[in-house]
Structure formats: C-alpha cells, structure tokens
Structure 1
C-alpha cells in the first residue's frame, strides 16, 4: 500500500489541477453520506473537539472508495501551536476494496478545502475579478490564496486578520508563489479591504460575524469556508439577504451558523438557496446572473472532495494521471 506524506501530497496536487479534479467529481457524482460528528472532551477553558468520519465511494469497478478520519480542536493553534484539523485518509479500489494508499489527511483537507472555495469562485465570481481579500491568517490562508489565484488573474491580494503580524507573515509567505507583478500585502482595516475587493474569501473559526453584509458592494463574491458548526459565523444575516446564496452541498444548510441562523430567523428561506456545486458543475443551475449581482458561496466540506483529492493524488503519484 502506497504511503503519501504531506510533502508527497503537495507535490501531487497543484492548485489548478485539483480544482479541475473536484469539478469533475462534482459533475460525475459519488456517494458521500453526511459526515459522522462526535464531540470530544476538552479542558474547561477550551472549545470542545470533534471527531469526524467521512466516507465516500464511486460506482463498483469504476473508481475508488475511501474514508477520512479527522479530529478538529479549534484551540490547537493558540494553545499548542498545532493545526486545528489533523487526520489521515484511507483510499481503496472500488468494487474490490483492495487497499491502495494511506495519505496525510491534514494537508489533504487544507488543499481540497481551498480548491472547493476556488471552484465556487470560478463558477460565481466576475470574470474580471482582479483583487482578492483573504480574511483569516490560519493554516488555510496561504492555500486559499494560491488556489483562488489559479482561477482568476489577480493583480492584488490583501490579507486581513485580527493579528497584523500574522497577516504580514501570510502575505510574505505566499507572495513568491503568485505570478510576477502580483501585489500581496496585509490590510489593517477590514472595511478598507472589503471596499476594494472583488472576491472576499473567509477561512476563520469565528463564532461571531466577521464580514458585515452592509459593507458588501454590487458585483462582489463572498466566499465562506471557515465555519463548520451551527455555532460559527463569518458573516451576518444582511449579507445572506443581499446576495444570491450558493452552497457546496445541502449539508451546509444544517451544519453551519451562516445558514442555520438566518434560516431560523426567517431572513432567508430554503428557496433562496440558488444551487450547489453538483448543479453548478453540471450546468443545471445558472451561476452569476449579472455583473452587479452579489454572490455568496458557503462551503462546509464533503467527503466527495476528499475522495477526489485522494484519488487524484494517488493517480499522479503512481503515474496513472
């Protein structure tokens, strides 16, 4: 059985190729039951941890079957200088179940999360988007910037976080990976960044709205990928009212506060959800309706994305792809 550590996974999964691998998987489909959530005990001064089990499989004899086992401890970065999300991915042959590979699930999760975010932007953001605002400075931020830059020719990338030093560090780290001439810089004032951004991408673990809907302007695309429980919010109800809302999967409607709260409050209804990545990638639902429209994309992740990333990494590592 092949073992792909983090370095091997990163070598196998270039941003554009991974975005396209996810696009293909959403178009072709796979079985991906709603993930299993199990709350884990934690210290009294920390948020609870979560154990996630995420299986997915393709049709027998036509693909792969796999499962990710991951833990999420939101306070790891601050308390232990560890990633909030860690895990492993087991990949097997479809139809037979023959073990094929064990992959680093921590980096795999970061890369596929960034790729799904970029796929949403590729389908919904204005084609002439040139300024990206990255909200959040955690481990996901550099990957999000690289993947978004693979689907739009950004000339300016702004990074905002509560800690200005971390924002500077992210900007410095990612700058060499972007095309020559791309300006990458921290922004101290979030409102200032929102005012000039064409695409706003959020990857935070916030429990309170970070991006005010009132500050959004016509033509912007708001992407949110950080919140994955009903107690987490990255924007407010006003943003959901003003924008045309899309999701990665229906799981977002029950798993994240950015949708659970406004649905419960009546700010939006389920009929206001314009489509998911399956429908968008298959051309079953239209994306952006015009240049002045505000689009909102909320993703919580799905085992289908893990399967697509793991299968593609395996094929690249073995020379199949």
Structure 2
C-alpha cells in the first residue's frame, strides 16, 4: 500500500491510541519483540534496520525494514528515511499486507512523543521547541497538538529552506500558533515547556544550561548506536523514561552515555509502559526535568500498521497481489 493511501486511512488520534496500547501490552508481557538488527553502510553514511514484532492482543505480527540515509535529500533528492512494513497472520503465517513505511514511521514516532508528553509534561505546557523541521516535525506538531495547547512553536533546522517550508505549511494549518524560526539551536530550546529533538546527530547539540526547570524533552533522533542529541549532563539530573530499556541502551539517546559510563541503567527511571499502567508515577513535581528517550520500537510500527490494514480491508482499498 502506497504512502499517499496510508495518509488517507490513518488519523493521528488512532495512531496515538495504538501506540499507547502497544506500550501497555509490552509491559504486560504480551508482545514478542527481538532486538532490532542493523546493516551499516559506513561509506554511504547510511543503514538498514530490521524490526520484527508480535502483539498477542491484536493477533498481528510483522516486520519493518527501514533505512536512514541523512544525506539522501541533499545528494540525490531522495527521502532520508524509507522502507516497508510486512504484516503477517500469526495463525497461518500468511502475508497479509505490504505497506510503505514512510508516513507510518513518522506518525508512530510522533505518537510516542505525544504519549510521553501526556504523562511527563506539565499540564500548563504551551511553548513547543522543535529541533529539526522535516517530516518528523510536521508529525510532531500534529501529535503534540492533541496533548497540549500549543500557543508558540520555536523551530530550528540546519537548512534555511527546510525551516521556511515548514513554517509556511504549518502557519496555514495552525493559524492561532505563533511560529518563531531560528538558526541557533539554543533559541529553539531555551524557555520551552516541551522540546522534541529530531535530528540524526552523533554528538550532543542540546546543552544542559538551556533547559529550564519543568521542561519535558522528547529525545527522538537517536535510533542507532553512536547517535545522541543531549548533553549527558541533562541525563544526570533528569527523570529518564525510555520506550524499551534493552533497545534504548543499544541504540537510543542513552546508548553513548551508558557506554562511556556517564550514567548507568540504575539512572533510568523506567519504561513508559510502566507509567501508563500506573506501576510508577509520571511527573511528580512541576520543576522536574523529564526526558523520554525513544529509539523507536517495532511494536509501535506494527500496531499503527494494523490500524491502516484494518481500515483498508473495511473500505476495500489497496492492490491485491498473489504471492
């Protein structure tokens, strides 16, 4: 199923619910999700990752095959992230659907940020900082608008064209929001209530002294070993919540600080599923700095893809092929 068809079949509300349910199911022990595996193409600054999962409650299984090539757009005019999701019937093993993964990947990532923001951000949060202005920023603004009353968005991008395109599109879609653009990362972080970091950086780009008390950070860019966006000093004092401890320790925001011994696994407060289930409280004080470190896990993709597949079947959409 093509990406443009998927966009017409999937709402952000459905994606947020699907991702929250998937996190809940994970911490109830009702999913299978082996550690994602990678092929690294160092000479091309890219990789492929393979992400399988089975969700017992939905009775759906699948695997996502997705790449990350940060230089694709500049060098070749191609998307930096692309891939497919294959859904299978656990009962028979039959392949049910092959879906383009671009929009599902963007939406499931933003939905995870929305879920974390729901449980970890201050209820009076109004100012959103976006570090990155690509497709993830578009999806994040939509997702977070369902959770917080966004009155101002401060956004940074390394390229002026991307920044201007983002604001031009979003200003029409969100006419009541004040958009502030900047070519300095600090200005997209300092003074914000909620910050989403959405870059492929391999070195910290967010300094600890920019983060005011009470800030919630969704650290979403680190999705492979060696990637990091936050000054480790932030993690030393923040309440750190992860999507999955095993995955995030290997390839999420905490992977480099853990390897370097700056933090230990004892410094990780818990998984978001534990907070959803009420096993641990989320935000306790208004002055806490909270960090959701999400590397992105397969149950998110498969749960959201299942929503799309179910709706496509209901409406009789898609192209039927014989395998």
SS at match of 1:208: strand
What's the counterpart of residue 37 of structure 1?
Answer: 38
Distance 1:35 1:132 in 2: 31
Conserved 8 A contact 2:191-2:211: no
Q: Which residue of 1 aligns with 2:302?
A: 307
Shift of 1:292: 0.6
| 1:95 is aligned to 2:96 | no
Deviations 1:69-107 (A, max 9, x none): 222222212211222221111112232223322111122
2:255 corresponds to: 260
Q: Which residue of 2 aligns with 1:74?
A: 70
The answer to whether the aligner puts 1:232 opposite 2:227 as a matched pair is: yes
Q: Is the partner of 1:142 in helix, strand or coil?
A: helix
Specify the alignment match of 2:217 in structure 1.
222
Q: Tell me which moved more, 144-153 or 159-168.
A: 159-168
Would you say the 8 A contact 2:23–2:243 is kept in 1? Answer: no
Taking a change above 3 Å as real, the CA distance of residues 62 and 163 of structure 1, as seen in their structure-2 partners, is closer
Q: Which runs of 5+ in 1 are unaligned?
A: none
Pair 1:139-2:140 in alignment: no
CA distance in 1, matches of 2:51, 2:74: 26
SS of the aligned residue for 1:204 comes to coil
Q: Shift of residue 22 of structure 1?
A: 0.7
> Can you give the 5+ residue segments of structure 2 that lack an aligned partner in the other structure?
316-323
Q: Which runs of 4+ in 1 moved over 3 A?
A: none
- In structure 1, distance between residues paired with 2:81 and 2:302: 17
Give the aligned CA root-mean-square deviation in angstroms. 1.8
Tell me by how many angstroms 1:64 deviates. Answer: 0.6
1:164 aligns with 2:165: no
1:138/1:204 contact within 8 Å kept: no
> Structure 1 residue 62: deviation in Å?
5.1
How many angstroms apart in 1 are the aligned matches of 2:248 and 2:172? 34
Are 2:19 and 1:18 aligned? no
CA distance in 2, matches of 1:132, 1:78: 27
CA distance, structure 1, for counterparts of residue 262 and residue 25 of structure 2: 33
| 1:22-62 CA-partner distances (Å, limit 9, x unpaired) | 111211232111111122363xxx42x21211111123x85
Q: How far apart in 2 are the matches of 1:284 and 1:95?
A: 32
Shift of 1:248: 0.9
Matches within 5 A, 1:40-59: 40=41, 42=43, 46-47=44-45, 49-59=46-56
- Distance in 2 (CA, whole Å) between partners of 1:138 and 1:81 is 14
TM norm structure 2:
0.90
Q: Does 1:9 align with 2:10?
A: no
Q: Report the 3-state secondary structure (helix = DSSP H, G, I; strand = E; otherwise coil) of the residue aligned with 2:201.
A: coil
